[in-house]
Amino acid sequence: MTRPARSISELLDPECYGGKAAWLSRLHAVGLRVPDAIVFPACNEATFESIKFDLIYAKATRTLLAPFCAADGTYEVAIRSSATIEAGAAESLAGHFETFLGRFSFDDVLARVCSVYRQGFGVLKNHEGMIAVIVQRMINASFAGVYFSANPLTSSRNAVAPVVRTVFGDF
């Protein structure tokens, strides 16, 4: 049975929708402002080839993407990976997957979803994980950053490194 695409407003299982998507859904669940997104389920290459039509071109997909559709019929989104082993304790593949950013037609969104899946299959060929795909509302930020749960310079979980500097000074 094919798992459907889901919204991050639902609590997502990392084994079914990948670690990144699961964390986005958890952040959303506790009330943090996370841009809306839908997630296509994790699969491997063999599974994808047998289910892609039902999964990607399902009527429900258009319904889930409808809130992202602008008046001109385009979707301003980020299309990104969510691997089941992307950010694990033993292994991390973060940064290995392509992300598409921009304004796309519905057909272009679907084509890029397929591209992320296929690129993920290549990266994961020698790993046990599966790839899922996130389509997330694009936020045109002035600046962005990363929060480290451990000091990246010392590995200490008791202190945050003064590593974030911008034109505005230290945070």
Domains and CATH numbers, the chain: 6-140 (3.30.1490.20), 144-171 (no CATH)
Q: Which tokens is 17 given?
A: 């929708």
Give residue 160's pLDDT.
Answer: 55
- Predicted confidence (pLDDT) per residue in 63-113, tens digit: 889 999 999 999 999 999 998 886 555 666 666 778 999 999 999 999 999
- Amino acid at site 99: T
- Predicted confidence (pLDDT) per residue in 6-19, tens digit: 999 999 999 999 99
Count Cα neighbours of 150 within 13 Å in the Cβ-side half-sphere: 6
Gyration radius from the chain CA atoms:
17
Identify the CA nearest to 127 among candidates 98, 84, 95, 89: 84
Question: 48 near 117, Cβ under 8 Å?
Answer: yes
